[in-house]
Amino acid sequence: MTHDLEVLDRSVLGSSGAMLHVRHTPVDADKPSLLIALPFGVPADVARPAFDKFGPNFNVATWESRYVLNTAQEFSGDEKLMPSEHVGDMLNILHALDIDSCRLIGYCSGAGISLVAASRHPDVFKELILVNGEFQLFRRGHASTDYQRSIDTFLPVVATGREQAGFIFSKMAEISKASRAGGEQSELEQQINLPFSQEEYLFRYAKNYMAYRDFDALEAASDVRQNTFIVTGRMDVHSSMENSEAVGGRIAAATTFVDDAGDHYEFCRAGSATLEAIDAYLAR
pLDDT in tens, 157-216: 999 999 999 999 987 776 555 444 446 778 888 898 899 999 999 999 999 999 999 999
Query: Nearest-CA neighbor of 215 among 135, 104, 111?
Result: 135
Report field, pTM of the whole predicted structure over 0.85: yes
Angle at 104 between CA 16 and CA 3, to 5 degrees: 100
Question: Among candidates 237, 198, 227, which has minimal Cα distance to 70?
Answer: 198
Average the pLDDT over 83-90 and give the result.
Answer: 98
Judged against a pLDDT cut of 50, whether residue 56 lies above it is answered with yes
Output the CA angle 175-177-179, nearest 5 degrees. 65
Residue 156 makes CB contacts below 8 A (sequence gap 6+) with: 206, 210
In whole angstroms, what is the distance from residue 192 CA to residue 178 CA?
Answer: 20
Give the confidence band of 4 by pLDDT, cuts at 50, 70, 90. Answer: confident
User: Residue 265: its pLDDT value, please?
Assistant: 95
Residue 4's Cβ-side half-sphere holds a number of Cα atoms within 13 Å equal to 3
Confidence at residue 270, expressed as pLDDT on a 0 to 100 scale: 97
Number of helices (H), then strands (E), belonging to the chain: the values are 10, 8
How buried is 93 (Cβ within 10 angstroms: 0-12 exposed, 13-18 middle, 19+ buried)?
buried
Helix 199-212 with 109-120: angle, nearest 10 deg:
40
pLDDT score recorded for residue 184? 73
Name the nearest CA neighbour of 96 among 15, 12, 9, 31.
12
Q: Edge-to-edge strand order for the sheet containing 59-63?
A: 8-13, 19-24, 59-63, 33-37, 102-107, 125-131, 228-233, 254-259
Whether residue 267 contacts residue 241, with contact meaning beta carbons closer than 8 Å, is answered with no
Give percent of the chain above pLDDT 70. 95
pLDDT of residue 189: 85
Residue ranges of domains in the chain, CATH in brackets: 8-140+215-283 (3.40.50.1820)
| Percentage of the chain exceeding pLDDT 90 | 86
Return the H-helix or E-strand segment holding 163.
Answer: helix 162-180
- Tell me which H or E stretch contains 153: helix 146-158
* pLDDT (0 to 100) of residue 18: 96
pLDDT of residue 178: 45
* pLDDT tens digits, 92-150: 999 999 999 999 999 999 999 999 999 999 999 999 999 999 999 988 889 999 999 99
